[in-house]
């Protein structure tokens, strides 16, 4: 807890009666309502910040996972290209030979699908 003042309650007896008093104590069992409310607000803000940080980290992890998936697909595509006799494929060979780069992925994927 932050700068919350804590108090203890004591009942004191004296000849002729008793009286009750609250004394400020470092480890007291009581706090002022205003201090309690301020601490609850502080803790809620801290929790909200931690939750936002966790959500941001999760979103970043998901984005990195999507990037990894895309890279994995490209790696599979080009490993297949490296290891297959693509020159025998009538649709794929001219795309590669003529450097029609915009068509490579679609044509390679189609050729990969033929081998499955």
* Euclidean distance between CA atoms 28 and 30, whole angstroms: 6
pTM over 0.85: no
Q: Given this model, what pLDDT does residue 2 score?
A: 62
Confirm whether 14 is domain-assigned.
yes
Q: Given this model, what pLDDT does residue 1 score?
A: 47
User: Which pair of tokens denotes residue 111?
Assistant: 């050729």
Q: Given this model, what pLDDT does residue 78 score?
A: 85
Confirm whether 106 is domain-assigned.
no
Confirm whether 88 is domain-assigned.
no
Q: Given this model, what pLDDT does residue 65 score?
A: 97
Confirm whether 10 is domain-assigned.
yes
* Euclidean distance between CA atoms 76 and 113, whole angstroms: 12
* Euclidean distance between CA atoms 75 and 86, whole angstroms: 16
Which residues of the chain carry a pLDDT beneath 70? 1-2, 115-116
* Euclidean distance between CA atoms 110 and 63, whole angstroms: 27
Strands 17-24 and 30-31: unpaired
Cα–Cα separations (whole angstroms), residue 90 to 80, 93, 94: 16, 6, 7
Confirm whether 6 is domain-assigned.
yes
């Amino acid at each position: 807890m932050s700068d919350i003042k804590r108090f203890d309650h004591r009942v004191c007896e004296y000849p002729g009666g008793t009286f009750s008093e609250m004394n400020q104590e470092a480890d007291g069992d009581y706090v002022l309502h205003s201090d309690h409310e301020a601490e609850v607000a502080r803790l809620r803000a801290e929790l909200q910040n931690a939750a936002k940080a966790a959500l941001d980290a999760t979103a970043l992890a998901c984005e990195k996972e999507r990037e990894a998936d895309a890279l994995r697909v490209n790696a599979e595509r080009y490993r297949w290209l490296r290891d297959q006799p693509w020159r025998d494929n009538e649709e794929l060979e001219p795309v590669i030979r003529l450097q029609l780069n915009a068509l490579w992925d679609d044509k390679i994927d189609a050729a990969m699908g033929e081998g499955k």
